[in-house]
Structure 1
Amino acid sequence: MRTVELLPDPVTEARVRRVWQELAAAGLPSLAGHRHPTNRPHLTLATADGPPRAAWRELPAVLAVLPLPLRLEGAIRFSGRTRVLAWRVVPDAELAALHRRVGELLHGHGTGSGGPPPAPGFWSPHITLGRTRSDRARWPDGLLPAELSEPWEGAFTAARSYDTATRTVEPLGAPDSASPEPSPGPPGPPDDPHANRWGIP
């Protein structure tokens, strides 16, 4: 499976990583403990089951709209076999349109898993902060970093694809010169196993 992910600007990325560290320091589940070198703050737009060559050739043109505004506002939690704490991304019209266009592109080439893109209002864009499969682990509101209660504005400046089989990444569209991707490391847990085709846990 391969993903289509948006990457935040360096200042926003540093802020997210700081929240990861603060969660870990408080003894809470955090992606700070995920040591694979591809682990990086991102928003998953979509995933595809196979090597969608035709769709992948068209993606750079679709992603040429970057950079796009990014607004983080409040913590959200997702339940399931893997429980997730995330920073909610507020989708403006441009981000929603890009999400829809990427979904339609992959679905139109028959490369997506599952059904068509969700209707407006059913997409929950987010940047993951922590995840756990422990029933006992929690993220009490009183222990969450103060940054999560403060709206933050930045930008999505680049895109990448993550291959779950090879555990490698490649840039999509213009290169992300501000924060180059590291080399792949040893096998470990999937980069974002809770994300499905449309970025909804």
Structure 2
Amino acid sequence: MPLQSVELVLDAVTDEAVRGLWAALAQAGLPSQADHQGPTNAPHVTLAAVPLVTAAAEQALVPLAARLPMRLELTGPALLGERRPALVLPVAPDAALDALHRHVRSALVETVGMVDELPWRPHITLARRLPDDVATAALAYAASLPIPSAAVATAVRRWDPELRRAWLVG
């Protein structure tokens, strides 16, 4: 079953900068999120990914909007995962972001009874499932590009892969 997600939407400046990174990777012949042309494909930070987000869980997420906008510090590109890693821009953890994430996990546990069990590593994805022989080159190329040092989270959205639809919460 594909996972539904709760995500932070980024401000227009960061969205444009990340899409520029996607385009640069693609123009260099490297894997990139630019390869995914779906209308819901947008730079974001995933807060949680679970098999189901119920209407009650979504309603419990509405208060998150009051915590936004939120500044996010970005660090240089990195590889995330061991086999076929993702190329990402990590988000530096801080108290406000950690509190937001805890709220999402709590809302999902209370209303759905489940959360993703993997350690949360907030990031913006530049490319997914890189072949091992391409990952190092993609990382080196991304590191040579102008990388934004900060972003602003402006909204919370939900993504439902079965409906192939994303919408803002709250």
TM range (shorter): 0.7 to 0.9
The answer to whether the Cα contact below 8 Å between 1:16 and 1:129 also exists between their aligned partners in 2 is yes
Map 1:115-130 to 2 at 5 A.
115=117, 122-130=119-127
> How far 1:112 moved relative to its partner?
2.5
CA contact (8 A) 1:8 1:157 kept: yes
- Which position in structure 2 is the counterpart of 1:157? 154
SS at match of 1:138: helix
Partner of residue 26, structure 2: 24
For 1:146, the aligned partner's letter is L
Conserved? CA contact 1:161–1:169, under 8 Å: yes
Count of aligned residue pairs for this structure pair = 166
DSSP 3-state at the match of 1:161 = strand
Q: Would the aligned equivalents of 2:83 and 2:132 in 1 still touch at CA under 8 Å?
A: no
2: distance between equivalents of 1:51 and 1:87?
26
Identify unmatched segments of 5+ residues in structure 2: none
Q: Secondary structure at the match of 1:73?
A: coil
Task: Report the aligned-residue RMSD.
Answer: 2.0
CA contact (8 A) 1:89 1:126 kept: yes
Aligned CA distance change for structure 1 residues 25 and 13 (closer, same or farther; 3 Å):
same
CA distance in 2: counterparts of 1:143 and 1:51, whole angstroms: 37
Q: How does 1:44-123 map to 2 (within 5 A)?
A: 44-115=46-117, 122-123=119-120
- The change in CA–CA distance for 1:40 and 1:57 in structure 2 (over 3 A counts) is same
Q: Give the letter aligned to residue 69 of structure 2.
A: P
Q: Alpha carbons of 1:51 and 1:106: their partners in 2 closer, same or farther (altered >3 Å)?
A: closer
Asked if the contact 2:49/2:116 (under 8 Å) is kept, the reply is: no
Separation (CA, whole Å) in 1 of partners of 2:64 and 2:54: 15
Q: Which runs of 5+ in 1 are unaligned?
A: 174-201
Q: Which has the higher helix share?
A: 2
1:174-195 Cα deviation digits (max 9, x unpaired) = xxxxxxxxxxxxxxxxxxxxxx
Aligned twin of 2:131? 134
**Residue 24 and residue 139 in structure 1: after superposition, are their counterparts in 2 closer, same or farther (change >3 A)?**
farther
C-alpha contact 1:85 1:139 (8 A) present in aligned 2: no
- 2 CA distance for matches of 1:164 and 1:80? 25
Task: State the TM-score, normalized to the length of structure 2.
Answer: 0.87
Q: Does 1:169 align with 2:166?
A: yes
Quote the offset at 1:136 in angstroms: 2.9
Give the TM-score normalised by structure 1: 0.75
Partners of 1:129 and 1:113 lie apart in 2 by: 24
For residues 38 and 16 of structure 2, the distance between their equivalents in structure 1, rounded to whole angstroms, comes to 17
